[in-house]
Structure 1
């Protein structure tokens, strides 16, 4: 009976781990306020770095909060504008391409992202696009395009799904396409992560152990 109880408890714990998720909220200045800031998710330490300038969290969030601060994977603090480089945004200006990298001390499953200040041109002629790649491998690149114009207090909020694992680093930069206002840029608001899913072989092993526990109990009762 003890074997079955312990094994089934382990199965429940692992299933809960795979199902759970955490939001890394870069708009929360109580956690993220400098390049030295870190946090922890699922046993992994999360750290940040940049090229082309210094990490910046100083811009206050000053746009509409509707649909943002109750955002992707959980409420966003909406205190700052999120992670930027030099100013409140990650910018591409000609040959100058700023990057921001979020690193994890152990691998995680990346479910998706949210962005701010990612805009369409008012006349629809162009749009800003967030570019992302994983584990220092540019062949893994994905893109998320703007959905809002900068008019009527719109926050330029975009949610993008990824579902990529295992991930130990994510690098962000802006595509050269633009909203025709200033330079191509955006802020990183959040990342949604979960534990790396348990491989199928491990689930089979766990199921086998559970079966052994059941058999052991049956023999004892017999």
Structure 2
């Protein structure tokens, strides 16, 4: 199992980020000293082999930006949507975790401003948790980075896709760059609660003995 890249984020909103722009992250890993594991699956071949080529490099995310993030395809580092084809990437956790940020790369607006690419993340098979609309213009050398932080949300499975709107080049596509993880996982919270109850019980026994 490949080790996950856990990096202290610059933003106070999230404690860690699973960094899909780090070349060594791989398709699976663990969080919180192994308390929770995660793995990626997709509609095709997972690929994060393309080197990051945006300018400037986004700051304040905890991402390394060694690569352009994960996409689907043997020679493609982006999640694509076009007629009769719909690509996706899922991340599945062994136990629910609190997520508080989502990051995409390679989402662009068309040069004339008439359309833009949109990344989508859906949680536990339900409605979209977020949709992130491109802000960078295609063809300018920018990274197409879009990210957002939010109040922590429990997740066991997150599906990442791209909507059909386009940037005027080829097909609608974008890359998964990272996921922010809040500091306390569900298993750890349970252990803390049990530890607190045990401590209260011990304190009561001491008082009775006195």
**Shorter-chain TM band:** 0.7 to 0.9
From the CA coordinates, give the structure whose radius of gyration is larger: 1
2:96 and 2:186 in contact (8 A); partners too:
no
> Which TM-score applies when normalising by structure 2?
0.78
Q: 5+ unaligned residues in a row in structure 2: which ranges?
A: 1-12
The match for 1:111 is 100
User: Is 1:22 matched with 2:16?
Assistant: yes
CA-based RMSD of the aligned residues comes to 3.0
1:89 and 1:185 in contact (8 A); partners too:
yes
Distance of 1:207 and 1:48 partners within structure 2: 35
**Count of aligned pairs between the two proteins:** 193
Normalized per residue, which structure has more helix?
1
Distance of 1:78 and 1:204 partners within structure 2: 38
> What is the Cα deviation at residue 164 of structure 1?
4.3
The match for 1:81 is 68
2:115 and 2:166 in contact (8 A); partners too:
yes
Change in 2 beyond 3 A, CA 1:150/1:162: same
Q: 5+ unaligned residues in a row in structure 1: which ranges?
A: 1-18
2:120 and 2:128 in contact (8 A); partners too:
no
1:45 pairs with one of 37, 40, 53: 37
> What is the Cα deviation at residue 207 of structure 1?
7.6
Change in 2 beyond 3 A, CA 1:60/1:161: same
5 Å-filtered alignment, 1:51-90, equals 51=43, 53-66=44-57, 68=58, 70-72=59-61, 74=62, 76-86=63-73, 87-90=76-79
Q: Deviating runs (4+, > 4 A) in structure 1?
A: 202-220
1:167 pairs with one of 137, 147, 155: 155
2:146 pairs with one of 154, 158, 169: 158
Change in 2 beyond 3 A, CA 1:207/1:56: closer
> Which TM-score applies when normalising by structure 1?
0.74
SS, match of residue 136 in structure 2: coil
5 Å-filtered alignment, 1:125-204, equals 125-135=114-124, 137-194=125-182, 195-196=184-185
2:162 and 2:172 in contact (8 A); partners too:
yes
Change in 2 beyond 3 A, CA 1:140/1:164: farther
SS, match of residue 131 in structure 2: strand
> What is the Cα deviation at residue 20 of structure 1?
6.8
